[in-house]
Chain A
Amino acid sequence: MGLLSDPNRRRALISMLTRLNAPICVVCYMAGVAWFMGLAFEPFTLRTYMSENAMGSTMVEERFPAGERALATGREFAAHKKKVGGMPVDWLVKTMQSQGLEVFTQRFSRTLPFPDENKERYVVEGTNVYGILRAPRAPRTEALVLSAPCSPGNNNNQAVGLLLGLSQYFRNQIYWAKDIIFLVNEHDLIGMQAWLEGYHHTNTTGMDWSPLQGRGGSIQAALSLELSSDVITSLDLVLEGLNGQLPNLDLANLFYAFCQKIGVLCTIQGKLQRDDWDTASGYSHAVQTMMLMVLKQASGRPWGDHGLFLRYHIEAASIKGINSFRQYKTDATTIGRLLEGMFRKLNNLLERLHQSYFFYLMPSLSRFVSIGYYMPAFGLLAVILLLRALDLWVQLSALPSRTEDGIADIEQVSQTHLGVLSVLTPLVISHLTGVALYTLPIRSQEMAVEHFPVFETEAVVLTAIAIYTAGLALPHNTHRLVSGEGTEQGWRVLKLVAVLYLAVLLGCTALINFSLGFILALTLVPLAAFITPHVPKLLSALFMVLLSPGCTLFFSIFFFQELQETPVNLQEGWVLFLSVISQGILDHSLYGSLVYPLVALLVYPCWLLFWNILFWK
């Protein structure tokens, strides 16, 4: 406790921290970025391993034989789908019933807050069909889910075919200890949301759905299958769920283990893994894979139908079949065997998957970075904020000269009083701007459509951008209304508040969604560290706008496209930017994704506070 009680040592430490503040901050920032980039370097990462005993040592045999018949069922399904012009409910019910499953349907309808232009839907009505295979060997208190979406056009017919093939095959096996639910959901995530809400008797998003007539036990794990061709070259595993939540790493391990065993090519983020980690290209490949995961996780969207299961504490992943121009092809029987193997292992589970990690990043399917390794990268960035706050605190407590008579004290008191007021006004105003950014776009779409020649979706997005930009003009200099003129002390107090606010905000965000927290820290921390009213105005204003959350999103889109090897030009990038904003707002109102409210209500107002400091006069 010497440091806390010995005034001399404290003084020495504090004077060192304030004297070397700027260099320490720069070093911390560089170290944070370097640490993060180092995470993809293979010697620094851990090899994945199966932690769950029940899935590790027990060997299972895969004997699924009926791939061709499954594909034929898929073609039949496609024909019926075409005939009905949507989900062939009756046919599905009949087929599942003939296999001996308990079959139920669920109707749902949902009106979106504004039309979704990507998927061209506004009023959504549909039906989910699911069949339950009751466990013959156990008291039916637990369940597993296999789902396949019924997509428009010719997509995913093979997935439904394989699902039906598997259900027929599973029905004849006697070793199931958990109910297995085969679910065909319409309208991808909306249907999935309706089904999950119905299953768990919750209604968080105000959707209309008919209650479920039949249930299995508590769902332990779920796999979602997407398959659009008869043969595939590789299987892609998708893990990122709602709000950047990830399933237990053992689920990924399970998938990887079976791919190795059966000999199927497997990818993550669409990238194969390479063995040449010691070459530059091998390293950059790993970095690209990891960055794709980071960007996807940061978006907070569910990247497959599995994404909504995670919210209910159910480990889930999507498996996508990819058919590229490679020579080596895999047929439906092999995929069926792979799924059978995974389900048999999941069937052996004695408790929920919990042994392995929940917080991880994957630079390849066989390597992972756990929370203990990646958190220091964020910690090094967050330390900068704390150091700046300490520096400001020291400056603030040094500023008022310690006069001995009481009169000066009173003046100080009135000054701090003004300080509080001049901090409160920008705080309140920037948060009100945030609230406007959060509520107005959807509320005012009708008015915008009436007065301007735009569609609803465009109206919402453009209103959001307009409010975002208007916020830059609005709140600065507001403190003058109260105190006449901003004091030296005033902006220091405001900056202290803003820096601490940002530190807490980023810390909480990084705990829930590391990627989002890290990306925001990467852009907001340098800005928070250097901004004062005395830096060159125009240059810093430009710099600040470039580092604002909106522009971060814009750059991230380009970066993402670049990583996916589909680069876009500025025009396309802008269109994509608009659609990403509309998707973000839709994700929030449809599934309860938190990224949009977080940015609108907290991050953006916090950024405005720094903007306010820059224009402090």
Chain B
Amino acid sequence: MAAPLTLLLVVAVTIRAALFRSSLADLIAERVEVVSPLNAWKRVVEGLALLDLGISPYSGDVFHETPLIIYLFHFLVDYAEITFMVSRKFVSSFRKQKYALEADRYPLDCLELIRSPKEMYYIPLKVAMFYLLNPFTILSCVAKSTCGLNNAVIALFILCTIKGSALLSAIFLALATYQSVYPLTLFAPALLYLLQRLYIPVNIRRPSFWWYTLQYAFMYLGSLFVIICLSFFLLGTWDFLPSVYGFILSVPDLTPNIGLFWYFFAEMFEHFRLFFLCVFQINVFFYTIPLSIKLKEHPVFLIFMQLAVISIFKSYPTVGDIALYLAFLPVWSHLYRFLRNVFLVSCVLLACSALFPVLWHLWIYAGSANSNFYYAITLLFNVAQILLVSDYFYAYLRREYHLTHGLYLKRKDGSEATLVLK
């Protein structure tokens, strides 16, 4: 187990190092699919320069990272490349442990649908492979997008949650929220998981449920408060609040990206802006409620769903965010036989990834296409992602159904039955 993982790490680091040194690195760092205004390395450098000159990095409209990141890089700026690589390694190695732990959970499930131990054994490796060798991750690493750090924080949060340490989990969740607001929705699955671990039933009439929820919420809000105050004391102003969270929530920067926001808000009349801003942003948060109710027994799957929803509906998505939830797919390899559109979806995702740069070239450089072409592909890409996620959701529910009713369903008259989703 250790040997293949080491090999994998070496390969992954070699690819990144080779790309760093090649002339492609600059090209990749400019791609809008890979970097967003939030996490572009160029902007971080700009913020650092402003900080060195004794000016608030948030004056002007360039830098939108959180204060802690800038201080982190302040010390690390010379070793930036190494830092990025290290953060990747962190992600992968924690992943590995996480799934080693998770592996203990599943064999409780029944009959033929459970995975064989041998397969379980390979899952951490597969996850690490999916993440480290995913071209999306490689691209966003080579572009030195700070998205890698966000992913690392979220991975740490998942790891701590699964290990059952409530305090660490709350701290990392607070850190992730502090970085990009949206991981706020991961609060629900984390809570559900921790409750499940302690055998506390999710029942609103039980005081023990409320007591634990309060505890966890307190830890989370407390650490969030501490982190934000720390940022204030480091910088001495509250400038960062509108510049980071205002920027994320009100979407003033309409640079094209792979998300859904830019085109709509570029085309929209100004007086509708606030209304549609709410409609668009609510998407990320709203699905938490129905999903938590439906998946309250399966918090880990809920985490996956939430991550996917965040990366589809967030205001400045990059391919790095997508890579994060794609890395979960090997964990659900037992759902494979219930998936319906995987061929269609993977073809569309593949074609879209190839078409992004082509249409960008036609629009920006050749001038012969226009933004509609690019947005059409963005739309298709997101539809494919939504199909993928809903397909996994359906497969998961169907597996649950089969676990209770048996795999081969019979009609009342004895003929073979099929399940239809209406």
Contacts and interface: CB of A to CB of B under 8 A. Distances in A.
A512 B340 contact: no
B343 A245 contact: no
Contacts, number: 69
B290 interface: no
Contacts of A512: 358, 361-362, 366
Contact of A507 (B118, B355, B394, B418): B355
Given A7-B419, A511-B362, A504 B350 contact: yes
Contacts of B337: 402
A7 B420 contact: yes
Instruction: State the majority secondary structure of interface residues on A.
Output: helix
B116 A504 contact: no
A7 to B, nearest CB: 5
B112 interface: yes
B355 A245 contact: no
Given A504-B354, A511-B358, A358 B368 contact: yes
Interface in B399-422: 418-422
A171 B418 CA distance: 83
Contact of B119 (A313, A352, A413, A503): A413
A8 interface: yes
B351 interface: yes
A359 B368 contact: yes
A245 B368 contact: yes
Interface in B320-367: 337, 340-341, 343, 347, 350-351, 354-355, 358-359, 361-362, 365-367
A272 to B, nearest CB: 28
B343 A393 contact: yes
B369 interface: yes
Contact of B340 (A10, A358, A410, A500): A10
Contacts of A246: 368
A5 B347 contact: no
Contacts of B387: 4
A500 B347 contact: yes
Interface string A386-401: 1001100100000000
A6 interface: yes
Nearest to A386: B347
B421 A406 contact: no
A504 B366 contact: no
Interface string B357-388: 01101100111110000000000000000010
Nearest to A406: B116
Interface string A6-22: 11101000000000000
Given A410-B116, A512-B362, A8 B351 contact: no
Contact residues on B (Cβ < 8 Å of other chain), bracket: 20 to 34
B350 A8 contact: no
Interface in A18-72: none
Contacts of B116: 406, 409-410
Contacts of A390: 343
B95 to A, nearest CB: 21
For A246, A354, A512, which residue has the most chain B Cβ atoms within 10 angstroms? A512
A508 interface: yes
Nearest to B117: A406
B367 A511 contact: no
A404 interface: yes
A5 B420 contact: yes
Contacts of A4: 340-341, 387
Nearest to A245: B366
A313 B347 contact: no
Nearest to B391: A4
Nearest to A353: B367
A359 B367 CA distance: 11
A390 B344 CA distance: 9
Interface string A494-529: 000000100110011001100000000000000000
For B118, B340, B343, B368, which residue has the most chain A Cβ atoms within 10 angstroms? B368
A358 B369 CA distance: 8
Contacts of B118: 410
Contacts of A311: 365-366
A313 B358 contact: no
A244 to B, nearest CB: 10
Interface string B97-137: 00000000000000010001011000000000000000000
A310 B367 CA distance: 9
B367 A507 contact: no
A8 B418 contact: yes
Interface string B258-274: 00000000000000000
A234 B299 CA distance: 77
Contacts of B354: 504, 507-508
A313 B355 contact: no
Nearest to A505: B354
6 contacts: A4-B340, A7-B420, A10-B340, A393-B343, A410-B116, A511-B355
Interface of A: 4-8, 10, 245-246, 310-311, 313, 352, 354, 358-359, 386, 389-390, 393, 402, 404-406, 409-410, 413, 500, 503-504, 507-508, 511-512
Which 7 A-B pairs give the minimum distances between C-beta atoms? Answer: A358-B368, A313-B367, A5-B421, A406-B116, A508-B358, A504-B354, A393-B343
